Structures are given as structure tokens and as C-alpha cells.
Structure 1
Amino acid sequence: MPRYGFIHDKLDIKFLLLYILSRAAAPLDFSTLTDLTMIDEGVDYFDFAEALSELVESGHATLTDGSYAITDKGRKNGAVCESSLPYSVRTKCSRRLSKVNAALRRDAQVRSEILPRADGTCTLRLSLDDEEGNILTLELLSPSQAQSERLAEGFKARPEQIYNGVLDVLLAEADNADNKEREP
């Protein structure tokens, strides 16, 4: 059956995979990598899965904890071959990858850690980073694992709102203290 599209064989799929992995902000899971690779009508799912497996076997990519990352060997060989990918495929891929990278960067900047304690409670550590480093770390005592997980989800959904709320409270207290000092 003839393939329509710009990707015609497994070697083209390997080039595309190396292109994607070299530009990803973090390792990608199989599902995300599948979505990013299936941008051209010529990509066959089974050829894609086989090409990805072969890249891992050959040392061009690694599979760790269900996520794929490019190796130095893959980055070097992919850079040499990426010009063989059609411009339209590279452009479409870069557009889709920019959205994925934004989500990956955000996930890396918003973290939570649940630390069980001997008495059955948990310490929940919430962290928010920006490009320069950590801007907020908050530790809370929580009565249970389930409550900690719920709090962590809320933090991950709205970290900026929580950060701004903490600043508002702290600055309001400082403003109140300044106003009291000025009163006769």
C-alpha cells in the first residue's frame, strides 16, 4: 500500500524521532512521543514503534522509567541527518513540540513531595521555581496521605495563585505595621 506524506520508510521515522528527542525539554513518555511522531501521513504506527525500539537498542536513545531521552550518540547522528527531513515536517513538529516543552518546563518548576511520618501523618513539601531557581518552598503537616495528595494537586493546579496569596498576606501585615508606626 503506498504511503502518502513526506515520511516514507523506517529510516525517515528514526530521523524524525531523533529530531523530536533532541528538542524535547525533558524525557518523553511513549504516548507523547507517539503523538509528536504521527504528524505525517507516511508514518506507520508499527514502523514507529519498531524504529523507536531500534534507536534504544543501538544506543541513540534511552528508556528509563517509561520515558525516552536522546543520548549523545543520538544527538550527534541526528544533527547530521536532520536536514534530510522535509522542511514542512520539521516546522509542524517544532510547533507541536513547543506546546509539549512548555508543559514539561512547568511540571519541572512545580513540585510536591509527600514525606510519611512515624505517627501516621505526613509532611507535604511544595516547591515553586522559576528560571533563576526556587522562589517558594512550603512545608505543611497533613493528617493523611490522601489529604497530602489532594493538597499537592491543588498546588500543582494553581501555584502562582498560592504564591501571590502568600505575598499578599505577608505584605499586608507589613503595610499594617507601617501604618501603625505613622499614627500619632
Structure 2
Amino acid sequence: MEGRGFIHDKLEIKFLILYIAARVIEPIPFDTMLDLTMCDDGVGYFDFSECLRDLVNTGHLTLSDAGLYAITDKGLRNSQICESSIPYSVRLRCDKNLAAWNRKLRRKNQVKTSVDQRSNGTFTVRMSLDDDMGNVMDLKLMAVRQDIAKLLADRFQKEPERIYSQIMKLLMENDDK
């Protein structure tokens, strides 16, 4: 074992991994699972790696071809049974980290952009914004150069709500001219 945390053996690391896998909103890669599991000083890299591999081998987790880990029904059942074995302070830290990660995943799924080249050499920038109820905006723009198209996509990614509200404001303005 690594440090002086509350997690003391491999079984507790497995409980923690299952706890995390049961609470993420979509499958996650190795690095993310590692970051979320390292919420306690008692967890070391090599023990974590071994425990993660064991959980896949025993059918508690799946590992997709894309390298993403997801919990199985078996893992979910065992997680629910064993989660009270995880020290409360570790669960609190873990829940805080999970909430931040899940917000990031939701955001990624709600704001999407793509850049595609057209047959005439220009580019189409597609920008969409969703909320919990569905699609809010789907906008396609033409850009003459790829660097401009990528700039538009990047700016939309940073502030989609502000762009949406400015478009709505422009469209709703009373034009008395």
C-alpha cells in the first residue's frame, strides 16, 4: 500500500472503483478512473491497476474496444452492497470529484461542434446546443478557410449560451427603421 490514507487493502480499492463506476454517467477511460480513484492517499498506481484488471476479469466491469470502463449489473449489485465499507470521508471526496466530472461530461454532450470541408473548398461549421429537454439550437455557417472555421467552432464551445442569447436578442429586436 502507498500512503497513510483510509484505504488499506486491495479489496477496499475494488470497492472504491465500483463505487466510482456506478456513479459516472457514461463509460470512462483508464486515466479518468485513475484520477477519480486517487482521492485517497492509501491508493497506489500499481495496486489500482491490478484491482481494475481484476474487476474486468471477474465481470464487475467491462472494457470496450475504445478503452472505456463501464460497470456491469454484477458490479452494480456488489457496489451497492459494499459501498458502506468505504470510509465516509473518502466517499465525500469521491462524490465531489464525481460531481465535477459528470458536469464536464454533460457539458461535452450538450455543446457540439464540427468542421467539414465542402466540395467547393469552403468549410461548414456546425454548432449545436442542447439542454436537458433536447435541442435548443442547431446552426450551420460557411467559412472560407479552415482556420476561420475552427476559430468559430472554438468560440462557440467556450460560450454557447452567450452566442445563443445574442442571436435571440437580434432576432427579437423591434426594428422601427
Name the TM-score, length of structure 1 as normaliser: 0.85
Contact 2:10 2:47 in 1 (8 A): yes
1:151 equivalent in structure 2? 152
Contact 2:2 2:44 in 1 (8 A): no
Aligned-residue offset at 1:158: 0.7
Return the letter of the residue paired with 1:113.
Answer: S
In 2, the alpha carbon distance for the partners of 1:10 and 1:93 equals: 17
Aligned-residue offset at 1:126: 0.8
2:156 is aligned with 1:133:
no
CA deviations on 1:132-161 (whole Å, 9 max, x unpaired) are: 111000011223444333221111111111
Q: Equivalent residues in 2 for 1:3-82 (5 A)?
A: 3-64=3-64, 65-82=66-83
Deviant stretches of 4+, over 4 Å: none
Query: For the structure 1 residues 171 and 36, does the alpha-carbon distance in structure 2 shift closer, same or farther, using more than 3 Å as the test?
Result: same
Return the letter of the residue paired with 2:26.
Answer: A
Aligned-residue offset at 1:21: 1.2
Query: For the structure 1 residues 34 and 169, does the alpha-carbon distance in structure 2 shift closer, same or farther, using more than 3 Å as the test?
Result: same
In 2, the alpha carbon distance for the partners of 1:62 and 1:12 equals: 19
Q: RMSD value over aligned CA atoms?
A: 2.0
CA deviations on 1:84-143 (whole Å, 9 max, x unpaired) are: 111111111101211111111111110112333333333221110111111000011223
Return the letter of the residue paired with 2:18.
Answer: L
In 1, the alpha carbon distance for the partners of 2:158 and 2:69 equals: 26
Return the letter of the residue paired with 2:95.
Answer: S
Task: Determine helix, strand or coil for the equivalent of 2:114.
Answer: strand
Task: Determine helix, strand or coil for the equivalent of 1:40.
Answer: coil
How many residues matched?
A: 176
Aligned-residue offset at 1:2: 7.6
CA deviations on 1:28-55 (whole Å, 9 max, x unpaired) are: 2322222211111111111111111222
Task: Determine helix, strand or coil for the equivalent of 1:39.
Answer: coil
In 1, the alpha carbon distance for the partners of 2:57 and 2:145 equals: 43
Q: Give the structure with the higher percent helix.
A: 1
Return the letter of the residue paired with 1:48.
Answer: F
Gaps of 5+ in 1: none
2:110 equivalent in structure 1? 109
Aligned-residue offset at 1:7: 0.9
